[in-house]
Amino acid sequence: AQRVTQPEKLLSVFKGAPVELKCNYSYSGSPELFWYVQYSRQRLQLLLRHISRESIKGFTADLNKGETSFHLKKPFAQEEDSAMYYCALGRGTALIFGKGTTLSVSS
């Protein structure tokens, strides 16, 4: 069955430290993967998708089919990165989401 696992509920880092939010998936075909972000009091919004292979707000994510992972990385965290992050996997028309990781960046 298709599944998305985000093993960390909370990740706390200091400003300027590297960040890695983990995401593992279970999918038999060719996966389509996304990262969504929800800042405080804002709607959930797309951060990036693997087919675009782009960097958004300094974040990147590489699909590793061997490890079935799609970890989100940023070399230097900023306080404004504090938010809830969700990894999502395409399943037919819909997306299925992981349980989310709260990123807290403090000075």
Where do contacts with other proteins occur on this chain (CB under 8 A)?
A: 6, 9, 32, 34, 36, 43-46, 49, 51, 86, 90, 93-100
Closer residue to other proteins, CB minimum distance, 16 or 26: 26
Closer residue to other proteins, CB minimum distance, 19 or 27: 27
Long-range contacts of 92-100 (CB under 8 A, 24+ apart): 95/34, 96/2, 96/3, 96/4, 97/4, 97/36, 98/4, 98/5, 98/6, 98/23, 99/6, 99/9, 100/6, 100/9
Q: How far is the CB of 86 from other proteins (least distance, A)?
A: 6
Closer residue to other proteins, CB minimum distance, 60 or 78: 60
